């Protein structure tokens, strides 16, 4: 067991990639705090699944884009548990062409994806330093941190920002023994990109052809990367990105939102 007696906070942990990472960590003995925004039912169901794996688990409500809510959640959790791991996974996306992006869509994605990552990242870093904990932090980004995707401009910008956030944190927190990295996810069918699949007919089959490994990623693929980055196996890895995207970036992966004629 890589994480026996350790506790992890996973933001956006009730569904999709976040839930998959929760399960992956729990299978290695990690106790989990499942952060959610509004879907308590989904969070409670995830907590029940984690407990069935033999670990302790609980849900914690907070919108990471709101600093007061993050501080409240952190105070509540750390009054009961000693945290060792942060998985910053909460994220949203709006599908809009650049000319159609609205200030509302910009603010919505920036607040959750980038400000939210900063809020929880700084709060956890301060906790680690104050508690003298050599913690692990992993931000879930996307291969769009490197290459833009049509109709996902703001999302791509936010993920690029999170990449730099992680590098800044890694640089300044290294002296405290804190490792900070990102997991750049490829195409995985979750709630966040279901609209993209609906907007572009044939996208699933098209990507299966474009991706060198000829399949979409799974939440388990992402969880495997998280387990590595949060364990002692990665003690000499910081400020880096693990790309879990099946090789799409080496095969014009940025040209995915195209409908075949």
Nearest 10 degrees: Cα torsion 165, 218, 248, 194: -80
Q: What is the distance between the alpha carbons of residues 105 and 34, in angstroms, rounded to a whole number?
A: 26
Q: Please report which helix (H) or strand (E) contains residue 228, including its range.
A: helix 219-230
User: E strands within the chain?
Assistant: 7-10, 31-36, 57-61, 85-88, 136-142, 179-185, 241-244
**Residues with catalytic roles:** 155
Cα 57 from chain centre: 19
Q: Is 221 exposed, middle or buried (0-12, 13-18, 19+ CB in 10 A)?
A: buried
Token readout for 201 is 């007919």
List, in sequence order, every beta strand (DSSP E) within 52-178: 57-61, 85-88, 136-142
């Amino acid at each position: 067991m890589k994480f026996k007696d350790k506790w992890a906070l996973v933001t956006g942990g009730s569904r999709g990639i976040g839930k998959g990472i929760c399960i992956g960590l729990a299978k290695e003995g990690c106790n989990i705090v499942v952060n959610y925004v509004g879907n308590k039912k989904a969070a409670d169901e995830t907590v029940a699944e984690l407990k069935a794996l033999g670990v302790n688990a609980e849900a914690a409500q907070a919108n990471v884009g709101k600093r007061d809510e993050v501080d409240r959640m952190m105070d509540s959790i750390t009054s009961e548990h000693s945290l060792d791991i942060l998985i910053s996974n909460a994220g949203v996306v709006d599908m809009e062409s650049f000319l159609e992006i609205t200030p509302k869509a910009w603010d919505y994605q920036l607040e959750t994806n980038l400000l939210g990552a900063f809020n929880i990242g700084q709060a956890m870093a301060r906790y680690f330093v104050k508690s003298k904990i050599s913690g692990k932090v992993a931000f879930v980004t996307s291969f769009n941190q490197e290459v833009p995707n049509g109709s996902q401009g703001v999302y791509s910008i936010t993920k690029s920002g999170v990449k730099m956030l992680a590098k800044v944190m890694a640089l300044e927190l290294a002296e405290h023994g804190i490792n900070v990295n990102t997991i750049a996810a490829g195409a995985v069918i979750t709630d966040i990109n279901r609209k993209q699949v609906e907007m572009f007919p044939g996208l699933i089959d098209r990507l299966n052809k474009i991706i060198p490994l000829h399949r979409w990623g799974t939440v388990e693929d992402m969880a495997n990367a998280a387990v590595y980055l949060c364990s002692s196996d990665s003690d000499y890895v910081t400020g880096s990105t693990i790309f879990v995207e099946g090789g799409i970036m080496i095969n014009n992966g940025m040209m995915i939102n195209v409908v075949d004629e």
